[in-house]
Structure 1
């Protein structure tokens, strides 16, 4: 039966024939059933099957004469208005119609995708009925099985949404979209099965059952046509990596078409850098294995011949720019192997250098290739590009940071001539604020005229406030507790406010600080700090055991200001006032010199003369300045540039302490390609007393953590106290029979070389940043202290008849300076008391009994002191370390071996610092 035939059913002529009508409905149901399956049953089975029509009478020949539409009625509609349904068909009362027009009406209604079933009926008198069944309304969208790709990443990408009309085309599109999202993650085996659950009121739940599958890895990378470099060498240049045990932390083993295009560029760049100017990638094919788990990538390359640089020259078309003045910055010479990267870097270098003179140059390399001699001549031409002016500077994305905080870092203003060097400098300054994302660029967009440009800074803010309560364990200070509040962008004004409290076994501190980088919107920074620090120094009493020596309490404040002198040079001035109290425990280090029971003097036998000289209360009033040169590309995590600081502080503007301290430090960073960052740093200092000796607490110290491979204050002058070993009749140098006190130095120097090694994306995501390093340095320049040893006059230890040194005793006093006694007989024998005769548990009770007690004595074994380590000879250590932003807090571990050291230096192989945040 063809589409032009019909039959009568119940007195009505069905113009869309039974065959076509049923075929359309069955086709629709099968299409939905193929695509959707319900939770309890396939989606196509959820909808009720269309009623089976009653047997029709024998078909009569359809009249060929066109009819006239009398009326168009709509039945079965629930949400849609009848006029809306009529608007989808081209049937208008009063106009003629044919069977073809009715068939077209049926097609038009199905094409709207609003209906699950449609019938067009004609009663033979021109009364046409559109019988419809509307598509259901989506109640909710459910994603199941998506573990690697969270719902908040998928939902914005799909078209279906609650309260929308269900359509099959949108379901198909959403399935394809979800699969595409998984393919972008390298999961090419992912499948999505949509299902529908029928609800009341013609509503449905759409469920996407997702089977994510494993990531499709790159099983093999084949390279064909490479003779000059091995496959492994070329794979090393690629971001994509083959699977293997050494790549378990790398996300580069996943297949990514975009990364594959990047790898081709990296390969081309590698060959061009090594002189192969004719290199090209002939083809690049990625084949998915039959199990859809892995990819095999094959590159076909042509290396070509290797070229050398020919004649290299520089020409200038700018009248005020002399080419000869800039030829010295050309790094390549005739006969060197051709390097395309070097040419690009030279273009940037010339552009920046000429830009410093206020010009906007257009530097173009003109190549002269000689295939016979295999040379590549290069002429760098400096041309004046048309003047372009900054029409507008737009800043987008700064919801918290005020607009002026970003705008004041621009080295260009609206109306200035465009300068690429100043744009680059502006980018570095904005990025160094630390308020925005790391990879930040200032985009250049066309302005309203050809000589106008718009600079657009699209920033993405990150958190600048820190509220941290941390606890941990350090190899330096044992148990550590730290509470700090810091806001680096207070109220979006770029101000820094901080407060902190820290506590550890050997140090405690409370600090408050504030910095305003732009006072009254002028490029002048001011700030102040208020602090209270308690520090307990210690020495080593054998092995890693420590004994607290002097205690230093410092209370004070500092005010500071900074003014830029040039773009890269800043001058900072400061004034500080602090009150120091250096003390020793009287019951450990003091003695009674006049027999009145009061510990009134520091005992050199216990403390050493150098510690006795350090105690006291002093007021330090100091003024200082610093000259800072800084052109780092990022002050937080630099990869290029240098920073140098020269500073001097003068103490003596009041107070009791007088000295002048000079210090210098400089660091330079190089990005040497492929993510490697090499840095070198030097620093040094000298302090000179003005009419007085430099106190122990004002000297320089060197060791862990500044110089890895050595213990805390482990480098430089010190006094080693060796105790007498009566068994061997000698002063022992064994660790358990010595103490070690660092004295610091008046002069020091230190150098550092470090290479930060990039890891795969997976390791970077874990926050791992390994590095190898070399540290070198020394601290020296103190006057030899008065020592206690057998060679010195007045040595307090006497010998017995056998030549052994006898110990010296000191009385043991209580906290009020009273003599402590030991009970020798009776029920309380072995106990201590303040009673010379008898016994009493406390000083408030009377002494009971008549036993004679012995005075308690503190026995000091004979010892000798040696002054060692005061040498400018370098100490050297090498090692490797890893920074890890672990889930439980920052972690740093260093393994370093001291290769050069002097007598008395304390070495340490492994140091670490770990904490947790909560």
Structure 2
């Protein structure tokens, strides 16, 4: 062999090796074509250049495919029989097969034009399994996973899903979270994909540092930002976890704070979040540049609108030369100028502040320029989002209609009236959009309806009523017409009531409301006998009907008229006490009131009485939201006069509330005062069921009917001397019917004490309550905490304690026996009524509470729009009370919406 031939022999393997290397793809598992073994070394050497130029595909064979057809695999190569090919085209074919994400491994072998394609298909996902996720539920993680059952599995997709799950945990403040994908092979080339999640603890903010702050301390700046340092007492907040988005927000908050303090050049130079050495917590460091403090220089106003008087509008600015520069005051001034221009019909008044920074004397000149704008008219009113509520229900609250001149005040008033319906979300706004021309505007309401049905349940416990339950159902938007339909029921140890009502707010599409109420109330008064068992003293049944109508007088004044018809039946229970010889003279009186059992003050109320009363109310209301007001006032004066048959009385009542914000903060204060007085005429006294009562829930810190005049009755019980012949303290010697002496003492057990509230003819109640904002996060949860003070009193009852109180330590009576409970005395075989002698030691009655002296309570409370309905609790401490008042520390109310 010549030297040249030898050189060529050494070159051929090198070329073949080079060809193989060039055909290797990026994926490590790829394999490349083999050289043709059948050709002799010389033939191969001689044919190599020609084969490289003229090589053509003779056939394509696919092996290893299970789900895919061979023709499908071959179609991805981009080659067919008879086509020429080279190393580059084979390399492209190999990459094309990998690009389909259908194969885990691919090899293309070149056998002299016969291409052998060997593939290993990617498995199919059978199911996705999550393990270890306790803090983040599966329904939160599932949307982040792109792999799904019956899809082709690739490791690239799995890595992408891992990254998304880790990012989800980081958004939850868990930066130590780790996710490990595990592949479980199954038959038929299927796999289960298991994401093993190690959640790790929440990454807390251990410390917040500030560098460069000279005018304000670290504590002041920490109080301004949303992020909080992790402390043991911060149990119900997530603001102490690290969140990059919150950190970026805090930088804006810092800038806003400094701009309100006059530092116009303030900037945050850098913000760094560093993990602690244990990789669990973060240390935040803000490097800030405060700059110099500026004051307002010259403040001017220019108007390009002819109808706007610059002199009059200048008084609206409220910024004086020399005041500390405050960016918030500039924003507020722009809003005031735009709203005032809107009153003149300029909906799109453009107010632009122009600043001139004077670094020499550190002043900021501001020129407010009101740009030229046309007077605007209402072109159209669009209402969106009202799925249940009829369109006319929203439109009738509009103070503007198509064709009216635009007016900012009327737009805001319309917004307040729509929000006061209580049918839509709280942040409802009326958007102003350009119309078909520069002088036209479209008012668009994008409403989001909320639940208007209310199912409310409340429970409580009191010394008087024991356990009590109240349930009510109410639909404030019945049939989407704004009608109100309600029903309620209350049951306790001694009372039951049912109330059904309906109100049509716009009768015959006119601004005239009409409604009615039908109610029935059963009340059983009781005390306790010597055995501690409850003993019913009298029964009261009240059945009534009320018709009412209301209409507006002006935008803020309204009036209503009502008629009430009520029948009261107060009687004794059907038991043996109705046939009692009260004075021991042998004369038995049927249907007689037993003062020992019922109390002397109740005996005068027995019988059936009718109340026919007509009343009116006059109201002023300019609150921004009737359901949850934040500003404005509401005053209602009402009177009812009874005497159109039956009982005669005059009832007068006033109720006033005012709401306002403290400065520019979110602290909302509500101040309320109500008072009432009822008096009889024509010789009629005020009965107990017509009097006022005061206590929970209107006056917190006191029990139901816990304030005002009351009679407390304690039993006398027999007393005996001890071994030395000494009687207990307070023992009283009394004779019995046989003439032998005996002794009794007061039973001091409060469970056997009868506490009867008498009500009063006059009352007043004042309250001051301040809502405390706890940040946007808490507000979004619907939690509104507050602190409050209640002041009130109830007095003036027609009751003479000297003539009516009972203080008889012995009271033996003869009583007929009514064993079968049919309300008639039993008789013996001869037809004689059967009697028995009952010895009753008696009662001591004490009269308390008839005083206008104020009772005062202070407390905290919170309302929460919880997922299962509205919830309200109050903790109140009575600071001032009178003897006999019943206090209560805690009360709650819970319901649900639908």
Displacement of 1:483: 4.3
Aligned partner of 1:622 in structure 2 is 613
State whether structure 2 residue 194 is matched by structure 1 residue 207: yes
Shift in Å at residue 212 of structure 1? 1.9
- Are positions 1:788 and 2:841 aligned together? no
Residues 1:856 and 2:838 aligned together: yes
Tell me the CA shift for residue 78 of structure 1: 5.1
Moved more, 60-69 or 525-534: 60-69
Q: Which residue of 2 aligns with 1:187?
A: 174
- Look up the match of 2:642: 651
Task: Report if aligned partners of 1:715, 1:778 keep a CA contact under 8 Å in 2.
Answer: yes
Paired with 1:548 and 1:196, the residues of 2 have a C-alpha distance of 75
Choose from 115, 135, 146 the match for 2:133: 146
| Alpha-carbon separation, structure 2, partners of 1:497 and 1:344 | 45
Q: 2:890 — aligned with what?
A: 911
Q: Deviations over 1:328-353 (max 9, x none)?
A: 76666666555443443444345445
Distance 1:6 1:907, change over 3 A: farther
How much does 1:531 deviate? 1.5
Shift of the 896–859 alpha-carbon distance from structure 1 to 2, 3 Å rule, reads same
1:439 is displaced (CA, Å) by 4.5
Q: How large is the RMSD of aligned CA atoms in angstroms?
A: 4.9
Query: What SS is found at the alignment partner of 1:813?
Result: strand
Equivalent position SS for 1:811: strand
Contact 2:22 2:91 in 1 (8 A): no
* SS across alignment from 1:713: coil
In the alignment, which residue of structure 2 is the partner of 1:747? 762
Structure 1 counterpart of 2:273: 286
Q: Which of 808, 811, 816 in structure 2 is aligned with 1:809?
A: 811
Of 845, 854, 865, the residue aligned with 1:874 is 854
Q: Deviations for 1:491-519, whole angstroms, at most 9, x for unmatched residues?
A: 44444333333211243111223334444
**CA separation of 1:817 and 1:294: change in aligned 2, threshold 3 A:** closer
Alignment of 1:374-393 (within 5 A): 385-387=373-375
Task: Specify which of 685, 700, 707 is matched with residue 693 of structure 1.
Answer: 685
**2:60 pairs with one of 51, 56, 73:** 73
- Corresponding position: 1:110 with 2:112: no
For residue 182 of structure 1, give the secondary structure of its aligned residue in structure 2: helix
Q: Give the Cα–Cα distance (whole angstroms) in 2 for the partners of residues 324 and 640 of structure 1.
A: 29
**Inter-partner Cα distance in structure 1 for 2:871 and 2:827:** 52
State the secondary structure of the residue aligned to 1:166: coil
Note if contact 1:896-1:908 (Cα within 8 Å) is conserved in structure 2: no
Map of 1:598 onto structure 2: 589
What SS does structure 2 have at the residue aligned with 1:239?
A: coil
Q: Which residue of 1 aligns with 2:164?
A: 177
What CA distance in whole angstroms lies between the structure 2 residues aligned with 1:176 and 1:582? 76
SS at match of 2:801: coil
Instruction: Give the distance between the partners of 1:760 and 1:547, measured in 2 at CA.
Output: 53
- 1:480 has 2:480 as partner: no
The answer as to whether partners of 2:102 and 2:152 remain within 8 angstroms in 1 is yes
Matched-pair contact (CA < 8 Å) for 2:346–2:374: no
Could you tell which deviates more after superposition, 233-242 or 891-900?
891-900
Query: Contact 2:815–2:837 at 8 Å: present in 1 too?
Result: no
Distance 1:574 1:866 in 2: 36
Following superposition, the deviation at residue 740 of structure 1 comes to: 6.0
Contact kept in structure 1, 2:817 and 2:835, CA below 8 Å: no
Once the 2 structures are TM-superposed, how far is the Cα of residue 221 of structure 1 from its aligned partner?
0.8
Instruction: Quote the Cα distance in structure 1 between the aligned partners of 2:777 and 2:601.
Output: 54
Matched, 1:684 2:672: no
| 1:240 corresponds to 2:227 | yes
Residues 520 and 772 of structure 1: is their aligned pair in 2 closer, same or farther, counting only changes over 3 Å?
A: same
* Number of aligned positions between the proteins: 847
CA separation of 1:114/1:408 partners in 2, compared to 1, >3 Å: closer, same or farther?
A: farther
| SS, match of residue 142 in structure 1 | strand
Q: Which residue of 2 aligns with 1:119?
A: 107
SS at match of 2:331: helix
Is the 2:651–2:676 Cα contact (8 Å) retained in structure 1? no
Provide the rounded CA distance (Å) in 2 between the counterparts of 1:350 and 1:713: 52
CA distance in 1, matches of 2:316, 2:406: 24
- Structure 1 window deviating more from structure 2 (474-483 vs 137-146): it is 474-483
Structure 2 CA distance for partners of 1:581 and 1:564, relative to 1, 3 Å: same
What is the SS of the residue equivalent to 1:100?
Answer: helix
Partner of 1:348: 335
**Matched-pair contact (CA < 8 Å) for 1:14–1:121:** no
User: Deviation at 1:774?
Assistant: 1.2
Structure 2 CA distance for partners of 1:404 and 1:55, relative to 1, 3 Å: farther
1:300 corresponds to which residue?
287
Indicate the larger mover: 704-713 or 13-22.
13-22
TM-score, normalised by the number of residues in structure 2 = 0.79
Q: Distance in 2 between matches of 1:20 and 1:138?
A: 33
Cα displacement (A) at 1:242: 0.8
1:878-893 equivalence runs, <5 A: 878-883=858-863
- Structure 1 unaligned regions, length at least 5: 29-49, 790-794, 798-804, 819-832, 835-841
**CA deviation map 1:22-70 (0-9, x unaligned):** 6755346xxxxxxxxxxxxxxxxxxxxx899999789855435422645
Kept in 1: contact 2:488–2:499 (CA 8 A):
yes
SS of 2:815's partner is coil
Match of 2:661 in 1: 670
Match of 1:563 in 2: 551
Q: Indicate how the Cα distance of structure 1 residues 156 and 440 shifts in structure 2: closer, same or farther if over 3 A, else same.
A: farther
- Say which SS state the counterpart of residue 258 (structure 2) adopts: helix
- 1:579 aligns with 567
Q: 1:247 to 1:415 in 2, by over 3 A?
A: farther
Distance in 1 (CA, whole Å) between partners of 2:138 and 2:748 is 66
SS of corresponding position for 2:611: strand
Counterparts of 1:418-817 in structure 2 under 5 Å?
Answer: 424-442=412-430, 457-466=445-454, 473=461, 477-536=465-524, 551-583=539-571, 596-602=587-593, 610-670=601-661, 676-691=667-682, 692-718=684-710, 727=731, 741-759=756-774, 769-780=784-795, 782=796, 785-788=799-802, 807=809, 809=811, 811-814=813-816
Other-structure match for 1:821:
none
Tell me by how many angstroms 1:249 deviates. Answer: 1.6
8 Å Cα contact 1:574/1:625 also seen in 2: yes
Task: Choose from 221, 225, 247 the match for 1:260.
Answer: 247
CA contact (8 A) 2:19 2:87 kept: no
Secondary structure of 1:245's aligned partner? coil
Contact 1:15 1:103 in 2 (8 A): no
Cα 1:141–1:747 change in 2 (3 A) is same
Shift of residue 419, structure 1, vs aligned partner = 5.4
CA distance in 2, matches of 1:106, 1:682: 86
Indicate how the Cα distance of structure 1 residues 614 and 332 shifts in structure 2: closer, same or farther if over 3 A, else same.
Answer: farther
Partner Cα distance (2:146, 2:403) in 1 = 46
Supply the distance in 2 between the matched residues of 1:732 and 1:329 (Cα, whole angstroms).
73
Cα distance in 2, alignment partners of residues 295 and 844 from structure 1 = 93
Distance in structure 2 (CA, Å) of the matches to 1:536 and 1:328 = 66
In 1, are the aligned partners of 2:103 and 2:120 still within 8 Å (CA)? yes
Q: Residue 220 of structure 2: SS of its match in structure 1? A: helix
**Cα separation, 1, equivalents of 2:320 and 2:228:** 36
Return closer, same or farther for 1:318/1:188 CA change in 2, 3 Å cut-off: same
1:889/1:164 Cα in 2 relative to 1: closer, same or farther (>3 Å)? closer
Residue 26 of structure 1, aligned match among 7, 25, 28: 28
Q: Is the CA contact (8 Å cut-off) linking 1:288 and 1:295 kept in structure 2?
A: yes
What SS does the corresponding residue of 2:283 show, helix, strand or coil? strand
